[in-house]
Structure 1
Amino acid sequence: MRRHDSIPEEQRMGMVMSFTAVTAAEAEKAAADPDWARDLLWEDGRRFAYLDKAWAGLDHLFGAAGLGVRLMVEETIDEDGTLEIRGPQEVAATAELLGRTPFTALAHHFDGAAMTAAAVYPSSLWEDGDDAIAYLNGHYQGLADFFRAAATAKAAVIAHFSY
């Protein structure tokens, strides 16, 4: 488990996404106080998954594979539209979907030229297929491990999209 502050600032720039595990009580408090929730994301010792800029590529592959995993925030708790709480049931469902889907099933749908043409963010990343696939695979494995651990702990999750 990496700490959020262990990620260099330059890697946190641009449009990036992360998920942080929280208890039910913390999720309730976060919904009522988004500023508190934002501070909670950076607490030492929190279990989290940092997707960097891989979120868009993974989202594209999830859609192409018909996986049904939702990365993007939809029902936000803050005015900026960057924080969303996902309850333990959604966390468990996501963990189950990711757990039964090996990355090779997603990699089958990788087409760097098509992703670049479709302006999947960041479009310049997809041109080098082997490196891009390795980048996506690393973040996919971290995401799957995170959701499996969060589901086992019956945790809720705060999704954070930063732009």
Structure 2
Amino acid sequence: MGVSISFVSATTEELDRAEQDPSWADQFHGELYSGDLYPMPGRLYGGPDRDFAGLQFLFDEAELSLEFVMDGFQILEDGTLFGWTAEQIDGVARELRATPWERLASHYDPERMAKQDVYPNMWRFDPEGRLDGLEATYEELVAFFGEAADRGLGAFMSFSF
């Protein structure tokens, strides 16, 4: 399974309640993914899944301010659930929309990423395929953050390991 990060949209009210009542947040977040539909209808959902560290490497190299594991606010003490306010989502959406993929791709260095053990450290095995995968994940993130920002939503970010 591995380590992954995912986002699902949340209202300001849900995030406020989650901050006040982490046990409610844990249960509510789980319910968003239960049942036959994944996630619940009407919820925006996006990766970066297992590509978070590869994208983070590119973000850092391109000097973008987004930091998956540092942004947002911690909801669960075990570090598996975070909240991102509508303002944070809007700021990230603006930055991502202003950053063409080509700017990030110019920093792709599979040899260096492998040497630095950037998770999941498969960069040497299929460098072109991994770059294509990062691009698809990036486009998914741009769409998620953009649509969430357009709707005035925040998000829950889960960190699974």
TM range (shorter): 0.7 to 0.9
The runs of 5 or more residues in structure 2 that have no matched partner are 34-38
Q: Identity of counterpart residues, as a percentage?
A: 30
Normalised TM-score (structure 2)? 0.88
Deviation of 1:126 after TM superposition, in Å, equals 4.8
Query: Residue in 2 aligned with 1:27?
Result: 15
- The structure 1 residue matched to 2:77, chosen from 73, 76, 79, is 79
Residue identity opposite 2:27 in structure 1: W
Query: Residue in 1 aligned with 2:136?
Result: 138
What is the number of equivalent residue pairs in this alignment? 151
- The structure 2 residue matched to 1:36, chosen from 6, 13, 27, is 27
C-alpha root-mean-square deviation of aligned residues, in Å? Answer: 1.5
Moved over 3 A (4+): none
Q: 1:126 to 1:19 in 2, by over 3 A?
A: farther
Deviation of 1:15 after TM superposition, in Å, equals 0.1
Residue identity opposite 1:61 in structure 2: L
Normalised TM-score (structure 1)? 0.87
Residue identity opposite 1:155 in structure 2: L
Deviation of 1:66 after TM superposition, in Å, equals 0.2
Residue pair 2:113, 2:123 contacting (<8 A) in 1 also: no
Q: 1:127 to 1:109 in 2, by over 3 A?
A: farther
Greater Cα shift, 39-48 or 14-23: 39-48
Q: 1:84-108: CA deviations, max 9, x gaps?
A: 1111111100000000101110000
Query: Residue in 2 aligned with 1:62?
Result: 59
CA distance in 1, matches of 2:31, 2:158: 11
Deviation of 1:80 after TM superposition, in Å, equals 1.4
Residue identity opposite 2:40 in structure 1: D
Deviation of 1:77 after TM superposition, in Å, equals 0.9
Deviation of 1:28 after TM superposition, in Å, equals 1.5
Q: 1:71-91: CA deviations, max 9, x gaps?
A: 114541102111111111111
The runs of 5 or more residues in structure 1 that have no matched partner are 1-12
CA distance in 1, matches of 2:103, 2:82: 28
Which has the larger helix fraction? 1
Q: What's the secondary structure of 1:71's corresponding residue?
A: coil
- The structure 1 residue matched to 2:155, chosen from 154, 157, 160, is 157
Residue pair 1:49, 1:142 contacting (<8 A) in 2 also: yes
